[in-house]
Amino acid sequence: MRFRKEIEFPGTVEQVRAMLLDPEFRNQVALATNGRPAESRVEETPEGPRSVNEIRPSLEELPSFTRPIVGAGLVIHQEEHWTSPDRATLSVRSHGRPGHIEGTITLAPTEDGGTLQTTDAEITVRIPLVGGRVETLMAKILGNVLKVQGRLGAEWLAGKG
């Protein structure tokens, strides 16, 4: 399933990239989306910085058909590898669970001095009968996280300015 979401931030490309690489910002987004903190870190690689986030989402709001699939101890592993100042690869997996998200994040300046973040990804779940429903659910969750990230990001950037 194809996924695409755009978010506009009131900051420069450099400011938005720095925010997305800040473990404290990632923790705030995790807390706002599911009430639990993330374990976030940034690793320097020869190709550029990599943001690694381990998220333990609340499973209370998941549909009942997904509970046997995700189990009780779901841990989502998200990596953003920034290979240039305005582009990152995105990989989201849950170890031992079917399905993954692979894509890109791009940052582009807007005419008003802000930044447009575009997340373009492919969501894949290979489970007979319910795979499409789980992909739709994953897209909804990712969209919600990005919406929260946009709201908190605007607040974060306003506070840094």
How, if at all, do strands 87-93 and 100-109 pair?
Answer: antiparallel
Q: Judging by beta carbons within 10 Å of its beta carbon (0-12, 13-18, 19+), is residue 2 exposed, middle or buried?
A: exposed
d(CA 94, CA 102): 12
User: Residue 70 has what pLDDT?
Assistant: 58
First to last CA, the chain: 38
Q: Look up residue 14 and give its two tokens.
A: 């450099």
The pLDDT averaged over each successive group of 10 residues in the chain (161 residues) is 96 96 92 82 94 76 61 76 97 80 97 96 83 79 87 91 48
In the chain, the domains with their CATH numbers are 2-160 (3.30.530.20)
